Amino acid sequence: MAEKRIIKCPNCGVFNTNKEYCTNCNTLISHQKKRELKADIVKQNEIDKVIHERENPNLTERLKKHPNILYKITGWILYSAFTIVSIIGAGLAWFIAMVAAG
């Protein structure tokens, strides 16, 4: 890479050339690297959330599997309601994204 990037360390004020970490105090100074790390954290959070939901079935899931038919029906009603709400939410998010992009 021919491009020279000089970044001033926000922690100690030392100037670093083409470095991701400060040579003086080892603080992360690369903006690109920071973005990458942030994206990784967001991705990891999403994965954790899915795993958590898998391991801890919520009330509707438990009701759906309940031996009592009345609980089961309640579970399915709640499940349908949640599904409809999330579909509307997703549609709304898509709409907002489209408006923001346009």
For the residues of 37-54, what is the DSSP string, one character each?
HHHHHHHHHHHHHHHHHH
Q: Is 8 helix (H, G, I), strand (E, B) or coil?
A: strand
Residue with smaller CB distance to Zn ion, 12 or 90:
12
Angstrom distances, CA of residue 26 to CA of 19, 70, 90: 10, 61, 42
Residue closer to Zn ion, measured from CB, 14 or 78:
14
Considering the complex, what minimum distance in angstroms separates the CB of residue 8 from Zn ion? 9
Give dist(CA 70, CA 60) in Å, integer: 13
CA 57 – CA 54 distance, rounded (Å): 6
Shortest approach of Zn ion to residue 16 CB, angstroms?
Answer: 8
The residues in 2-41 that bind Zn ion, with binding defined as CB under 5 A, are: 9, 11-12, 14, 22, 24-25, 27
Q: Does 86 bind Zn ion (CB under 5 A)?
A: no
User: Which CB atom, from 26 or from 86, has the smaller least distance to Zn ion?
Assistant: 26
Q: Site residues (CB under 5 A) for Zn ion?
A: 9, 11-12, 14, 22, 24-25, 27
